[in-house]
């Protein structure tokens, strides 16, 4: 008997079934009579519990931290520790999906881009329809703002199709400085090599067997599979495209991102000034490193003049 509730049940059992007094029952099990007689004055928080359950039913893979952000947006101010207690009492804990092997040893940190369109990440995700046919999804992410730029679904995605989708994105958003991908056959095809040379975009391939070198898109793929692909049955290609488009809009505009201070990617991207970001990038790339400080150089020259007479 660890909790006060368990002690109350034990005392009630002794009083009801064995005819013991409350004082004697408390002495027998070693608990305080104040604990038995205490009446809770804690509010039941019915409205908060109902809204939390509604959001959890709608977004089944959200933990209590993201639920806390969603409730704050709706004006329901609640302490995160209290919300965690209610979250546990309502049994809304998200079940973890299996484990994965973790590398042993040191890792070099992955640099975060400072400006939008500085680096894009590409990767493929596969799934299947209800009839067993498989399809693939091309995912493109801006590593700075974490925006999902495209989710292209089709039964076959060649290098020519990837180049065409990149041209469409560049027309809409602008040309990136670098694109990162793995060594898949679509990304190493002649069509992609010719496109990168013609578009003047640096294409970086990660080392084989090192997916964490492309960690931004790998993290996004995990959220995509956990929150959408594993939760949805796709009947056709048109159905998959419609669901992916709705999820992309929700991911960019509504879903709070933990690495952006719980802002959405669209909110975080709106904080950037395009002219200032471009000026900062040009300044970093063109600024030479001074050989010596002008003040220090002046002191050395003055000392030499005094020594020379």
Identify the pLDDT of residue 114: 86
> How many CB atoms neighbour CB 309 within 10 A?
4
Identify the pLDDT of residue 249: 93
Identify the pLDDT of residue 309: 41
Find out whether 48 and 28 touch, Cβ atoms under 8 Å: no
Identify the pLDDT of residue 106: 45
Question: Is the pTM of the predicted complex or chain greater than 0.75?
Answer: no
> How many CB atoms neighbour CB 148 within 10 A?
22
Cα gap 262→268, rounded to integer Å: 9
Burial grade of 269 (CB within 10 A; 0-12, 13-18, 19 or more): middle
Identify the pLDDT of residue 234: 94
Identify the pLDDT of residue 60: 85
Phi then psi dihedrals of residue 145, to 5 deg:
-90, -10
State the 10-residue block means of pLDDT for the chain, 309 residues long. Answer: 86 92 92 87 85 89 90 90 91 75 51 87 94 94 93 92 93 91 89 91 88 88 92 93 94 90 90 58 51 39 40
Q: With H, G, I as helix, E, B as strand and everything else as coil, classify residue 142.
A: strand
Identify the pLDDT of residue 240: 94
Q: Is 94 left (phi over 0), alpha (psi -120 to 50) or beta?
A: beta
Phi then psi dihedrals of residue 168, to 5 deg:
-65, -40
Identify the pLDDT of residue 109: 61
C-alpha pair distances (Å), 94 with each of 16, 49, 107, 214, 256 = 40, 17, 29, 26, 17
Q: Which residues partner with 202 through β-bridges?
A: 178
Cα gap 225→240, rounded to integer Å: 13
Q: With H, G, I as helix, E, B as strand and everything else as coil, classify residue 202.
A: strand
């Amino acid at each position: 008997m660890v909790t006060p509730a368990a002690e109350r049940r034990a005392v009630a059992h002794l009083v009801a079934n064995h005819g013991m007094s409350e004082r004697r029952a408390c002495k027998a099990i070693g608990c305080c009579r104040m604990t038995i007689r205490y009446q809770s004055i804690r509010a039941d928080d019915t409205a908060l519990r109902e809204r939390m359950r509604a959001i959890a039913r709608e977004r089944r893979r959200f933990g209590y931290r993201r639920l806390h952000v969603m409730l704050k947006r709706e004006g329901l101010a609640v302490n995160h520790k209290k919300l965690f207690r209610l979250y546990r009492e309502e049994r809304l804990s998200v079940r973890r999906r299996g484990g994965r092997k973790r590398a042993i040893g040191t890792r070099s940190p992955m640099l975060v881009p400072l400006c939008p369109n500085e680096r894009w990440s590409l990767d493929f995700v596969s799934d299947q329809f209800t009839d067993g046919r498989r399809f693939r999804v091309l995912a493109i992410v801006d590593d700075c703002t974490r925006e999902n730029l495209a989710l292209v679904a089709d039964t076959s995605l060649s290098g020519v199709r990837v180049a065409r989708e990149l041209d469409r994105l560049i027309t809409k958003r602008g040309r990136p400085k670098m694109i990162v991908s793995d060594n898949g056959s679509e990304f190493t095809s002649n069509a992609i090599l010719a496109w990168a040379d013609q578009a003047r975009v640096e294409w970086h391939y990660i080392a084989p067997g090192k997916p964490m070198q492309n960690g931004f898109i790998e993290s996004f793929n995990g959220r995509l599979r956990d929150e959408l692909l594993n939760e949805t049955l796709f009947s056709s290609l048109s159905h998959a495209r419609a669901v992916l488009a709705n999820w992309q809009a929700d991911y960019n505009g509504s879903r709070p991102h933990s690495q952006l201070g719980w802002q959405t990617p669209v909110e975080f991207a709106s904080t950037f000034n395009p002219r200032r970001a471009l000026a900062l990038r040009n300044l970093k790339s063109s600024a030479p490193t001074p050989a010596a400080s002008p003040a220090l150089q002046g002191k050395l020259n003055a000392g030499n003049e005094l020594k020379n007479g």
